[in-house]
């Protein structure tokens, strides 16, 4: 008999932390459990005058989707040319040189409200290049400057398909200009991606944290 009405006042199920009430696999009752989309912390690294931050383990077939979160990434060098960037490795971190094609869009707003803008950033994209991909605008080493954001890497262990990714960051650059920087693209390889490296285009990262999650 099809279930046509549920009296939620009569349900006596107490979900545990991070769990939800859902139908069971037979669709004839309720249970608690994961409903998908949960983030599982795999690794966390904090910069301290670091030239690079590399994730060389934990990227495998366990998850189809990996999320990297950047929290208050701060450069050591002054100026406005210090950009957070990344590259992939298909040989456990021996080389970070996967060929990529990407797009880049940036939005900006001056702190004094004197100017806003939105546009494609030709200088931030790649076309079949092994270079590192920029994912922020230029950062300064003032205390109120830095960057935070997210990168999502899809199905890195596939040996059939190329490796798609998207990034989005918020940063403040010299002149007190807030930037939202977005990229999307793919690593043009059918080899499994098993390592990711982040670095600043000039100088080191003197502070900040990058966390890597798997998505259930």
> pLDDT tens across 163-183, in order?
999 999 999 888 889 999 999
DSSP track, 49-84: SBSEEEE-SS-STT-SEEEEEEEEEEESS-SS-B-E
Contact 67, 212 (CB under 8 A): yes
Residue ranges and CATH numbers for the domains of the chain are 39-215 (2.60.120)
What pLDDT, on a 0 to 100 scale, did the predictor assign at position 143? Answer: 82
**pTM for the complete prediction?**
0.83
- pLDDT band of 80, cuts 50, 70, 90: confident
Query: CA angle at residue 42 from 95 to 146, to 5 degrees?
Result: 70
Q: Above pLDDT 90, what percent of the chain?
A: 74
- pLDDT band of 155, cuts 50, 70, 90: very high
């Amino acid at each position: 008999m099809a279930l046509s009405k549920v009296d939620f006042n009569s349900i006596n199920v107490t979900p545990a932390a991070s769990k939800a009430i859902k139908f069971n696999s037979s669709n004839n009752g309720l249970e608690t459990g994961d409903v998908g989309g949960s983030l599982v912390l795999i690794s966390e690294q904090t910069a301290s005058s670091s030239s690079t931050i590399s994730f060389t383990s934990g990227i495998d077939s366990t998850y189809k989707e990996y999320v990297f979160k950047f929290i208050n990434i701060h450069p050591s060098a002054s100026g406005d040319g210090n950009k957070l960037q990344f590259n992939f490795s298909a040989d456990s971190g021996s080389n970070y040189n996967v060929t990529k094609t990407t797009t880049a869009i940036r939005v900006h707003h001056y702190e004094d409200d004197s100017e806003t803008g939105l546009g494609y950033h030709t200088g931030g994209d790649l076309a079949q290049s092994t270079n590192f991909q920029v994912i922020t605008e230029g950062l300064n080493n003032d205390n109120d400057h830095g960057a935070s954001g997210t990168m999502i890497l899809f199905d890195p262990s596939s040996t059939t398909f190329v490796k798609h990714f998207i990034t989005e960051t918020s940063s403040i650059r010299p002149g007190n200009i807030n930037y939202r920087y977005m990229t999307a693209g793919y690593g043009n390889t059918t080899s499994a991606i098993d390592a990711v490296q982040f670095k600043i285009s000039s100088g080191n990262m003197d502070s900040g944290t990058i966390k890597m999650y798997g998505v259930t």
